[in-house]
Chain A
Amino acid sequence: MYHYNNADHQLIAERVEQFGSQVQRRLNNELSEEEFKPLRLMNGLYLQLHAYMLRVAIPYGTLSSDQLRKLAVIAQRYDRGYGHFTTRQNIQYNWLELEDVPDILVELAEVEMHAIQTSGNCIRNVTADPLAGVAADEIEDARVFAEIVRQWSTLHPEFSFLPRKFKIAVSAAENDRVLLRSHDIALRLHRNDVGETGFEVMAGGGQGRTPVLAPTIREFLPQADLLSYLEAVLRVYNQLGRRDNIYKARIKILVMETGAEAFAAKVEEEWARIKDGALFLPEADIARIKADFAPPIYDDLDDTDPALAADLAKNPNFARWVRSNVDTHKQPGYGIATISLKPPGGIPGDVTAEQMEKIAAIADHFGFGEIRVTQKQNLVLPSVRKRDLYAVWLELDEIDLAAGNAGLLTDIVACPGLDYCNLANARSIPIAQRLSERFHDLEEQHDIGEITLNISGCINACAQHHTANIGILGVDKKGTEHYQITLGGRADGGDAIGTIIGPAFTAKEVDGAVDTIINVYLDQRQDGETFIAAIGRLGLEPFKEKLYAAA
Chain B
Amino acid sequence: MTQIVITANRAREGCVVYLAGPGIWSKNLSDALVIEGKDAADALLSGALRDAAADAIIGPYGFPVSVNNDGITVLSQREKIRIHGPSIQIPSAREKQHVPL
What is A's interface to B at a CB cutoff of 8 Å?
26-27, 29, 32-33, 47-52, 73, 76-82, 95-99, 347, 350-354, 418-420, 424, 426-427, 429-430, 433, 479-481
Contacts and interface: CB of A to CB of B under 8 A. Distances in A.
Nearest to B78: A418
B2 to A, nearest CB: 14
Contacts of B87: 419, 427, 430
A73 B97 CA distance: 11
A80 B12 contact: no
B50 to A, nearest CB: 12
B86 A420 contact: yes
Interface stretch (B18-26, B40-48, B52-60): B52-60
Q: How large is the interface on B (under 10, 10 to 19, 20 to 34, 35 or more residues)?
A: 20 to 34
B92 A82 contact: yes
A415 to B, nearest CB: 13
B58 A33 contact: yes
Contact of A419 (B86, B92, B94): B86
B29 interface: no
Contacts of B94: 80-81
Given A50-B16, A479-B76, A33 B97 contact: no
Contacts of A98: 11-14
The 7 closest A-B pairs by CB, nearest first: A81-B92, A419-B86, A51-B14, A82-B91, A52-B14, A97-B13, A352-B91
B96 A99 contact: no
30 contacts: A26-B11, A29-B54, A47-B9, A47-B14, A47-B58, A47-B59, A48-B14, A50-B14, A50-B82, A50-B85, A51-B13, A51-B14, A51-B15, A76-B97, A78-B96, A80-B90, A80-B92, A80-B94, A80-B95, A82-B91, A82-B92, A97-B14, A98-B12, A98-B14, A99-B12, A350-B90, A420-B86, A427-B77, A430-B88, A480-B77
Contacts of B67: none
A308 B98 CA distance: 43
B53 A33 contact: yes
Contacts of A27: 11-12
B68 to A, nearest CB: 19
B94 to A, nearest CB: 7
B1 interface: no
Contacts of B97: 76-77, 81
Contacts of A427: 77, 81, 87
Contact of B88 (A48, A76, A79, A433): A433
Nearest to A34: B53
Nearest to B82: A49
Contacts of B15: 50-51
Nearest to A346: B91
A354 to B, nearest CB: 8
A427 B76 CA distance: 12
Given A50-B16, A77-B98, 14 more contacts: A29-B54, A33-B53, A47-B59, A49-B78, A50-B82, A77-B99, A80-B90, A81-B97, A351-B91, A352-B91, A353-B92, A418-B78, A427-B81, A430-B87
Interface in B48-80: 52-54, 56, 58-59, 75-78
A73 B13 CA distance: 20
A81 B91 contact: yes
Contacts of A78: 96
A77 to B, nearest CB: 5
B58 A347 contact: no
Nearest to B86: A419
Nearest to A26: B11
A49 to B, nearest CB: 6
Given A33-B11, A33-B58, A47-B59, A347 B88 contact: yes
A39 to B, nearest CB: 14
B58 A29 contact: no
Contacts of A433: 88
